Amino acid sequence: AQSVTQLGSHVSVSEGALVLLRCNYSSSVPPYLFWYVQYPNQGLQLLLKYTSAATLVKGINGFEAEFKKSETSFHLTKPSAHMSDAAEYFCAVSDKFGNEKLTFGTGTRLTIIP
Amino acid sequence: GAVVSQHPSWVICKSGTSVKIECRSLDFQATTMFWYRQFPKQSLMLMATSNEGSKATYEQGVEKDKFLINHASLTLSTLTVTSAHPEDSSFYICSAPMNFWSSGPYNEQFFGPGTRLTVL
């Protein structure tokens, strides 16, 4: 069974400050990991994904995440927050062997302080 | 990139009526689609897996007779909420996977924009 834990249901950062959203996973097989962003009343947009090609993954809108197997983590970061980054962020996991199902974390709401 | 659409984007209905939500993959074929439900300020919960040409697979606790799923073609899946009640009010999101290859095969999910259902 797989699971994802997102620490912090709400995170607030000042505009221009570092964004750090935490995600820890549990998986009995090598995982594929994803970060999605959701704006109000919209579907999910993929920010970035880890598929074992490289441990440091760069995504859209200046976000990146690092897969750390020893820590079972896949934290999302952005060096400088923009107002437009305010949204809900979800970490998700699927297994490596073609399983199409995604297991989502509970989400983190990011607020940007002007 | 791959696009998934949903129709309608929002619907309001009376208690006891049925509502049909469509999910379409616009530029790719999907033998499998997924239906999620999202309550306010909560995560997505997988309801069922829609399989083209066969019965849907429902997650534990989801009533198959209440949430009817039909995967009519390789680009269309429908979710019908039968005899809707206020507690069925939610945001329903579908997704469809595409196959990719990195160091091995994996699937990337493409999500529809969601349907807001309000049952009065």
Q: What is the pLDDT along chain A (114 residues), one digit of tens a residue?
A: 788 999 999 999 999 999 999 999 998 777 889 999 998 878 899 999 888 778 999 999 999 999 999 999 999 999 999 999 999 999 999 875 555 688 899 999 999 999
Q: For A22-106, list the strands marked E by DSSP.
A: 24-26, 31-38, 44-50, 56-58, 64-68, 73-78, 87-95, 103-104
The shortest CB-CB distance from A96 to any of B6, B104, B112 is to B104
High-pLDDT (> 70) share of chain B, %: 93
Q: Which residue of B has its CA nearest to A53?
A: B103
Pairwise CA distance, residues B14 & B87, whole Å? 12
DSSP letter for A51, please: -
pLDDT of B76: 96
CB contact under 8 Å between B44 and A90, yes or no, is: yes
List B residues 50-89 in contact with A (Cβ-Cβ < 8 A).
none
At residue A97, the pLDDT reads 52
| Minimum Cα–Cα distance from A43: chain B residue | B113
Measured distance CA(A22)–CA(A8) in Å, rounded = 8
Mean residue pLDDT of chain B comes to 91
**CB-nearest partner of B113 from A42, A53, A101:** A42
Q: How far apart, in Å, are the Cα atoms of A92 and each of A59, A99, B47, B49, B113?
A: 15, 13, 16, 17, 18
Q: Reply yes or no: is the peptide bond before residue B8 cis, omega within 30 of 0.
A: yes
Write down how long chain A is.
Answer: 114
The reported pLDDT for the residue numbered B106 is 65
- CA distances, B49 to each of A5, A40, A98, B36, B61 (Å): 23, 25, 15, 9, 14
User: A98 and B97 in contact (C-beta within 8 Å)?
Assistant: no
Q: Which of B44, B102, B114 sits opposite A41 (nearest CB)?
A: B114
Burial class (CB in 10 A: 0-12, 13-18, 19+), B87: exposed
**Under an 8 A CB cutoff, do A101 and B6 touch?**
no
Contact A104 B32 (CB under 8 A): no
Distance between CA B64 and CA A33 in Å, rounded?
Answer: 30
pLDDT, tens digit, 9 for 90 and up, residues B40-93: 878 889 999 999 988 999 999 999 999 999 998 999 999 999 999 999 999 999
B99, two tokens: 């196959």
A50 near A57, Cβ under 8 Å? yes
**Is the predicted pLDDT of residue B101 greater than 80, yes or no?**
no
Q: Is B41 left (phi over 0), alpha (psi -120 to 50) or beta?
A: left
Least CA distance to A107: which residue of chain B? Answer: B43
pLDDT of residue A58: 94
**Tokens standing for residue A43:** 């579907």
- Residues B83 and B68: their CA atoms lie apart, in Å, by 11
A98 CB neighbours in chain B (<8 A) are 105-107
Candidates A51, A100, A107; nearest CB to B97: A100
Per-residue confidence band for B98, with pLDDT thresholds at 50, 70 and 90: confident
